[in-house]
Structure formats: structure tokens, C-alpha cells
Structure 1
Amino acid sequence: MSGGCTYRGRIAPTPTGYLHVGHAATFRRAAERCEAAGGTMVFRLEDLDPLRCKPEYCDAALEDLRWLGLTWTEGPDVGGPCGPYRQSERRPHFLAAWRALRDGGWIYPCARSRKEVATSALAPHEEEPVFPPGWRVPVAQAREWADPAGTNWRFRVPDGEAVEFVDGHFGQTRRVAGVDFGDFLIWNRDNVPAYELAVVVDDIAMGITEVVRGADLLTSTARQLLLCRALGAPAPGFYHCPLVVDELGRRLAKRTGALALRTLREQGATPQSLWDRLKNGMF
């Protein structure tokens, strides 16, 4: 956790579907850590994808988390000094960051598709395909572009550098650039900023001092630390929660039939009944 600053945490759902109990467990942990630190909680809707982030999912995220008893001081429904609190309304911030990365020589245009990367020789990997270094484009070409539209953009990682951080739950954590992850997307060819860039830019702009999220994003944290450095900004602290699993030990996911908060509410569940079932990290 960043020292010397008033604690600022965030609840930041991606409304591409109804939130499930795994989200509830993570967001509750975020709320608990914020409350213990006497800090400020920020609610941010990460609704970048215009096709998948539907209005009904955005509304449901706010309603369902309020129903669970979670509260926040800043957000799209209450306002605040760091708004807007919907990423779909924060495009100027992302474009400014893209320009800074372009001018700094950190990124390059990339015509390779996700499918090409997935089927490349370096694709077999524990977590994700590693972008082949031989497909890189000289970063000098980036300066020829006035805006990012029309192609993918990737951040060139420092091959072989160990990115280390102390996680609030897992402790000392290490990922090696070019081995555990490769050059990653920061802007998509459909002219939408990628997750990695958007969350870093907004966490910096909103003064977030600790990010609480699921353990599936540990490698993502290494990427985001590199982005913070490239943008010349201090990084927040990180706390990664163990993932909630079902009775067979399978990870819950909103696109694979997991139990949605909205469905559980309609079936008569109460917030306390959900918390009771989640005590052991299973549902």
C-alpha cells in the first residue's frame, strides 16, 4: 500500500454481464480494507466496450452492490472531484496517455490479430500467449501517427526484466517481462483503449492508493507497473484476493453460468446469506 497518502480505494466492475458472487467477495474485501484505513471509496464503471457493456448491466452493478450494503463516497451516481466515473466518458484522458507513450517511445502500431498471436510459436504458455519479439515494429514508426485509430497498439516490454512487487495477500510476487508476459495491447484496432491502459490512467487520475482485485490479475499488475513507470507516475499498492470457486473447485465466471447477484436476489437470497456462504471462499 502506498505510504504517506490518505487511503483511496476503488470498486471498479466491468459491466459486460450481471455481477456474480465472486465479484461480491472481492468488492467486499476492498470495502473492508478501505474502512479499516479510514479511507475514501471510489466507484468506477469500467464500461469501455460499447458492444458488451450494456446499460442494463451498468444499472444492475450499482443496484446489486448497493443491495449488498456496499457504499462509496465518489461514483457515477453520487459525483465527486475526480469524475466522470464512467470510463466511456473519459476518452480524453486515455488519448493523452496514448500520446505520452507514443512520444516516449514506449508503444508501436501492431497489425497482428489476437488469433495470430494465439497460434504463434510462443503461444503455449501457462497464462496467455507471449507476443513474438520478431513481430515487433520499430517504436519510431509510432511518431508518424496522430491518433491511435485503425490498428492495435502494443507496449514494448523490457525483455528479461523482473517486475517485482509485494502483494497485500500473496506477499513478494515476481513476473519476468518477455517470459511470463510479452508486449501487450494498450489500444485496440476498433479505437477503444485496452483494459491495461484505461485502469492505469484512471487509477492515477483518481489518486487510488490501493487496488483490491482477484488473483487472476497478478500478471496484469506487472504490466500496469511498467505502464506507471512509463507515464512517470507512482504505482498504487495491490491486494489480490483468492478466487471464489464452486463445490468442484472451478472458478466462477459471469459468462459460464455462475450465480449472478441479480438472479440470487430474485430467488430471495439476502446479503447475509451470501456472506455466510462465502466465508470459506466457496459458493
Structure 2
Amino acid sequence: MDRRSSFVPSGYRGRLAPSPTGYLHIGHARTFCTAWKRARAAGGALVMRMEDLDRERSRAEHAEAALEDLNWLGLHWDEGPDVGGPFGPYTQSERTDIYLAAWRRLHEGGFIYPCLCSRKDMAASLGAPHESAGRGQDAEDEPVYPGTCRTLDASACGASGEAGPRGLNWRLRVPDGEAVEFEDGNMGRQRFVAGIDFGDFLIWRRDGVPSYQLACVADDAAMRITEVVRGADLLKSTARQILLNRALDLQDPQWFHCALSVDGQGRRLAKRHDALSIRELRRRGRKSDEVLGSAV
């Protein structure tokens, strides 16, 4: 029997979006379980999207393990790289044309500008390579950009709509001082101030890869996602993505951010915690319901 046949479709569309840069851990399991439960409770569709744009760290074996481990947990989906669907391909590395179309719209609207700053330049200008941890600290975070290239003559560095984004970093110009507010289905009212909590952020990298922010927004719109369920470490990303949706004239989905899982010492789980990976717990003989209840 088709595992999708028992679900009555509705307007709700959720998604699971693992990144194959390591084995999924029990924190991922709980967040993805929440996404699955919300989609099923709504009688809607659940989309599996493999976010493999990190070329240096993404591995095919981790992508395969993610699909296998989530299926083992009983978290089945209706569309994805293994089952197909009307909005494929469901692997980000195969969706470059969609991201380029979004870049062109941003460029034509005057929302973005080229940036020549390297990571080393950023570290030197800010005195540190990363923002200090705090409220809304983001898994895809970057330092608050000081605006060095905001007034750069784009033509002087060979930037043009015809040439596309290649060879340059591109940033979205944020409205400094403007509060970006949204209602989160789990965390309540959220508020971040552009230019303070985050600055002009990357939407395309000089190595030819779109940023997480741009790819996420473009994919959620193209796949008609109505609710984004993910970890609370991405709250600040939501503020950025609201600005991108506005620039691209896209409707925001609903947001639901889950509390982060921590280990016995209160440290946030990461993929380096191999002992707490779903794969390792399976090897030890743990049951799926035990894994879903393991994180604190």
C-alpha cells in the first residue's frame, strides 16, 4: 500500500530539511517528529528536501543515512528525493536555476549589492569572526556586516545582471533600524532589529553557491510550504527570510521553532555528538520510541 494513501490532503504543506553534513542526532529526531506530527494533524502533505549546498561537508552517505534513519523512526513523507513529487527535484544541489531566478529578481529590484570582503576582512573589521552567543543565536549566523561595500560601484567590479552572481559575494541591503516581528507558533512573539541583531547578509557566495537564506526562501515558495518547523537556533534566520520574502514579493509561511535539545551537561547537541546520533543509538539496539524521548 502507498504509505501516503491514508492521509487526506489539505492546504497544509510542511517540510523536513536535513543537511547531509553528518549523522542526524536525537535533537533532529525530535524536531522532525514535531514537523511530521503537525503535518499529519493538519491532514496535509510533508515534503522531504535534502539541503546539500555545503559542498565541502555534504556527503552522499549522510544523505542516505538521513532518509533511512528518519524512515526507521516512522517519520514518512509524501514528496522527496526518494519518492518524487510535483515540485522536484528535492535535492538543493539540483535546483540552481530556481536560486538564480531569485537572485535576478533581487538584482533587478535593487535589493542586493556585490561585496568584495573576505572572511579575513570581516574578522579584522569586527575584531572577532563571529557574533557572541545570545538570544536568537543562529546555526546559519554571520557577523553583523559593517557596510564596507554598500556604496561600491558595481560596474567597477564587473557586476551586472547579464553576468549573474558568479565570482562575487552578494548581500541583501537590510533596512537599518527597522524591527522585524513575527508570531512563532511555539515561541510566541519575536522581534529582531535590522542593522543591530543582524546586518546586510549574504545571499550568494563568490564560489557560486547561494546562501542558506536565499535557497530556503526560494525552495519554500516553490514547494508551496505553508509552515516551517525547525530549531530555535534559526529564529534570527526567520527575520532575514521575512525580508527576503518581502523583496521577492512572496508570502511568508507560518513559523514554528522547537526548543533545542541538549546533552547531560546542558550543551546544545551538534552532529559532532556521535554517541547521540540516531545511527549509533540504532546500533546499540535502542527502539525508535526510546530515541524520540531521549533528548532533554
1:181 to 191, 195, 198: 198
TM-score by length of 2: 0.88
Amino acid at match of 1:132: P
1:38: Cα distance to partner?
1.0
- Whole-Å separation in 2 of the counterparts to 1:103 and 1:89: 24
Which residue of the partner structure matches residue 51 of structure 2?
Answer: 46
Which residue of the partner structure matches residue 24 of structure 2?
Answer: 19
Give unmatched runs, 5+ long, in structure 1.
Answer: none
Which residue of the partner structure matches residue 132 of structure 1?
Answer: 146
1:235 partnered with 2:252: yes
TM-score by length of 1: 0.92
- Whole-Å separation in 2 of the counterparts to 1:139 and 1:14: 36
1:34 to 31, 36, 39: 39
Residues matched between the structures, number: 275
Matches of residues 1-283 of structure 1 in structure 2 within 5 Å? Answer: 6-121=11-126, 125-126=132-133, 127=137, 128-138=142-152, 141=155, 142-143=159-160, 146-257=163-274, 259-278=276-295, 282=296
Give unmatched runs, 5+ long, in structure 2.
Answer: 1-9
1:53: Cα distance to partner?
1.1
- Whole-Å separation in 1 of the counterparts to 2:273 and 2:70: 21
Tell me if the contact between 1:7 and 1:34 (Cα under 8 Å) persists in the aligned partners: yes
Deviations 1:112-131 (A, max 9, x none): 12232233248554445210
1:132: Cα distance to partner?
0.2
Aligned-residue Cα RMSD (Å) equals 1.7
1:211: Cα distance to partner?
0.2
Tell me if the contact between 1:12 and 1:43 (Cα under 8 Å) persists in the aligned partners: yes
Tell me if the contact between 1:117 and 1:130 (Cα under 8 Å) persists in the aligned partners: no
Tell me if the contact between 1:122 and 1:130 (Cα under 8 Å) persists in the aligned partners: no
Deviations 1:223-273 (A, max 9, x none): 000000100110101000000001111000003546111111111111011
Q: Between the two proteins, what is the percent identity of the paired residues?
A: 60
